[in-house]
């Protein structure tokens, strides 16, 4: 920059700006070399930045573990009294690879049952949970848990209530909408009269044949905060919370997420 | 050195520092499409005791800054949730002031010195434009026409938009298309179940852009509020607690770092 100001001193305006550009172009070329991807310094700095990010995530994990321990063991009482009336329908999205660990899934559901959640929608992209429906339903067919389980897992010493399940996968998402579109097409175009029909969202809702309400809260168990294709029509105003990976699930954090949800005030656009 | 020169130097230094950060971020994949839900304008207004509607104006200048950072970085598609169909439920005065602000800003977009011409941005207005008042709709159509030749980047402004309305509209268009095909063929064959997922995706308002890589919603709210529900299956949802008028360069950098951190996983999901 000092070089260009010295040059600027004695040249007319047009040549001045051209020279200025030339100087900065040289500077840029020397400093940035070719493209960013080829620049070793940038690549090194990128790795440093991502290393710092990993350390931050690790620190967050540790903090969450401590927080969950404090909540679960009653040291923090803020989350003990949940207004569960507000959580009429809870949805869980699990990454399909993680969903193959059925024992982990069942433990999660046992915790939810202990908290008092009555209706749960289970989603995974590939339908792993749908295929394990039998195993899961069998586990929850009895209304109260046996003494054996409470010795292993202190959380389950609370009474477990009956829990209703819905199993959803990717075929209930976009494909279901295509099916509903065909229902409307067959009904109003092929079999209907010649007048152009007027569809409303209610018509499409009806054609989707989904009798369940929209989930209030959606907990994601997976590497990223991403709903992985949960049926679009049903998550308009659903609060979406990322809980981390299924194998690192924590009871206290579920309480915290539900508690936070019950405090949320939605305007629904207005 | 006077104030003007000092400001210019700080501006140049800032620009240079940003370019260094872009260089570092570019060592890995930069998202192709970022979407923003601009939440928090009214809260900002209340917090800073501004006149009603001032928050939206401050929000607009935040939007211009964010667009600048995105296009400088090389993000090709940027989508913003400007006005939802549900927002029509607000008081008539607020809706009218928002419409007036949007008309003014849309007209500003097609001016010579605007960001749109600086970065060669093509603008699309996405949504049920028939619900807008005539002046806003005309301004939007004029802006789309004026920027139609730009090809370096794309800005999609979702106005009078909800995802459910978009899906419904797409279903209607599919039905009409299939019915017209039958009428043309006129061979008496009325096949059932002819509409596929691809047909629906083709008729979506957002078909002009690929699926978003990141959806950033400010104000710490964790819901999508009927925005890009269909397109966000493999998209990273990022919710910083900052209010929209206060969003800055570093929030964008953090969102992109998070995206890069999860990139392999998100790419695998997209291919599944």
A18: containing domain? 13-76
- Whether the per-residue pLDDT at A13 is higher than 80: the answer is no
Give me the active site residues of B, please: 39
Q: How far apart are CA B64 and CA A66, in angstroms?
A: 41
ipTM: 0.91
Question: A175 and B197: CB-CB below 8 Å?
Answer: yes
- The pLDDT of residue A185 is above 60: yes
One domain for residues B100 and B138? yes
Domain boundary at A27, A44, A76, which?
A76
What DSSP designation does B114 have? S
pLDDT of residue B82: 94
Q: How confident is the model at residue A188 (pLDDT cuts 50, 70, 90)?
A: confident
- Residue A193: the pLDDT is 66
User: Hey, which residues 77-96 in chain B have their CB within 8 Å of chain A?
Assistant: 84-87, 89-90
Contacts of B225 in chain A (CB under 8 A): 236-237, 269
Do B9 and B139 lie in one domain? The reply is no
**Predicted pLDDT of residue A19:** 43
> Does residue A28 surpass a pLDDT of 60?
no
Query: Does the pLDDT at position B112 exceed 80?
Result: no
Whether A97 and A222 share a structural domain: yes
Query: Which tokens belong to A93?
Result: 């999205």
Chain A, window 152-181: residues with a beta carbon less than 8 angstroms from a chain B beta carbon: 173-175, 177-181
Q: Are B27 and A173 within 8 A, CB to CB?
A: no
pTM: 0.88
Chain B residues with CB-CB distance to A53 below 8 A: 257-258, 261
DSSP letters along chain A, please?
A: -HHHHHHHTTS-HHHHHHHHHHHHHHHHHHHH-S-GGG-HHHHHHHHHHHHHHHHHHHHHHHHHHHHHHHHHTTS--TTTS--GGG-S-EEEEE-HHHHT-HHHHHHHHHHHHHHT--EEEEE-TT-HHHHTHHHHHHHTSSSS--HHHHHH-GGGGSPPPP-EEEEE-GGGTHHHHHHHHHHHIIIIIISS-SSPP---HHHHHHHTT--SPPPSEEEEESSSS--TT--GGG-SS-EEEE---GGG--HHHHHHHHHHHHT----TT-
Among A50, A181, A227, whose Cβ lies nearest the Cβ of B200? Answer: A181
The answer to whether position A101 is within a domain reads yes
Cα B167 from Cα B174, distance rounded (Å): 10
Is the same domain home to B124 and B145?
A: yes
Residue tagged 């979407």 (tokens): B35
pLDDT band for A150, please (50, 70, 90 cuts).
Answer: very low
For residues B25 and B77, membership in a common domain is answered with no
- Tell me how many domains chain A contains: 2
Which pLDDT tens digit goes with each residue over B88-111?
999 999 899 999 999 999 999 888
Hey, are the CB atoms on B178 and A45 less than 8 Å from each other? Answer: no
Q: What is the mean pLDDT of chain B?
A: 92
Three-class DSSP category at B121: strand
Residue-wise pLDDT for A37-47, tens only, equals 568 899 999 99
| B41 neighbors B59 (Cβ within 8 angstroms) | yes
Q: How far apart are CA B35 and CA B216, in angstroms?
A: 6
């Amino acid at each position: 920059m000092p070089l260009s100001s010295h040059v600027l001193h004695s040249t007319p305006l047009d040549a001045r700006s051209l020279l200025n550009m030339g100087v900065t172009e040289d500077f840029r070329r020397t400093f940035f070399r070719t493209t960013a991807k080829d620049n070793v310094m940038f690549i090194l700095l990128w790795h440093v930045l991502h290393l710092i990010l990993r350390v931050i995530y690790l620190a967050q994990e540790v903090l969450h573990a401590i927080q969950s321990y404090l909540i679960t063991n009653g040291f923090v009482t803020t989350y003990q009294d949940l207004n569960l009336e507000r959580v009429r329908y809870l949805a869980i999205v699990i990454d399909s690879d993680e969903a193959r660990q059925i024992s982990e899934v069942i433990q999660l559901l046992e915790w939810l049952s202990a908290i008092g959640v009555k209706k749960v929608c289970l989603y995974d992209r590939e339908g792993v949970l749908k295929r394990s429906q039998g195993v899961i339903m069998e586990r929850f067919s009895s209304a109260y848990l046996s003494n054996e389980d409470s010795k292993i897992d202190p959380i389950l010493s609370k009474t477990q209530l009956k829990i209703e399940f819905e199993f959803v996968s990717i075929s209930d998402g976009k494909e279901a909408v295509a099916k509903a579109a065909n229902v409307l097409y067959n009904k109003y175009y092929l079999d209907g009269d010649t007048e152009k029909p007027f569809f409303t969202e209610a018509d499409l809702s009806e054609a989707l044949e989904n009798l369940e309400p929209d989930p209030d809260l959606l907990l994601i168990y997976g590497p990223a905060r991403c709903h992985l294709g949960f049926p679009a029509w049903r998550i308009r105003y659903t609060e979406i919370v990322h809980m981390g990976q299924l194998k690192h699930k924590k009871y206290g954090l579920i309480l915290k997420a539900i508690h936070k949800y019950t405090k949320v005030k939605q305007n629904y656009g207005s | 050195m006077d104030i003007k020169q000092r400001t210019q130097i700080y501006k140049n230094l800032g620009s240079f520092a940003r370019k260094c950060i872009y260089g570092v971020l570019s060592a890995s994949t930069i998202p192709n499409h970022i979407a923003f839900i601009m939440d928090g304008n009214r809260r900002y207004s209340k917090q800073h005791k501004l006149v009603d509607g001032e928050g939206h104006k401050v929000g607009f200048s935040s939007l211009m800054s964010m667009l600048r950072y995105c296009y400088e970085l090389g993000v090709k598609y940027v989508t913003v949730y400007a006005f939802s169909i549900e927002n029509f439920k607000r008081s008539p005065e607020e809706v009218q002031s928002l419409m007036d602000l949007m008309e003014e800003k849309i007209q500003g977009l097609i001016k010579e010195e605007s960001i749109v011409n600086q970065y060669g941005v093509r603008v699309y207005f996405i949504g049920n434009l028939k619900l807008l008042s005539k002046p806003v709709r005309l301004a939007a159509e004029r802006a789309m026409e004026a920027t139609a030749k730009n090809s370096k980047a794309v800005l999609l402004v979702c106005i009078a938009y909800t995802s459910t309305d978009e899906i419904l509209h797409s279903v209607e268009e599919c039905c009409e298309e299939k019915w017209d095909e039958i009428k043309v063929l006129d061979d008496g064959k009325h096949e059932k179940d002819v509409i596929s997922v691809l047909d629906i995706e083709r008729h979506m308002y957002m078909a002009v852009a690929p699926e978003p890589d990141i959806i950033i919603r400010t104000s710490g709210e964790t819901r999508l509020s009927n925005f890009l529900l269909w397109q966000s299956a493999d998209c990273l949802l990022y919710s910083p607690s900052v209010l929209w008028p206060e969003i800055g360069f570093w929030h964008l950098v953090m969102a992109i770092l998070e995206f890069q951190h999860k990139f392999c996983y998100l790419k695998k999901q997209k291919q599944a």
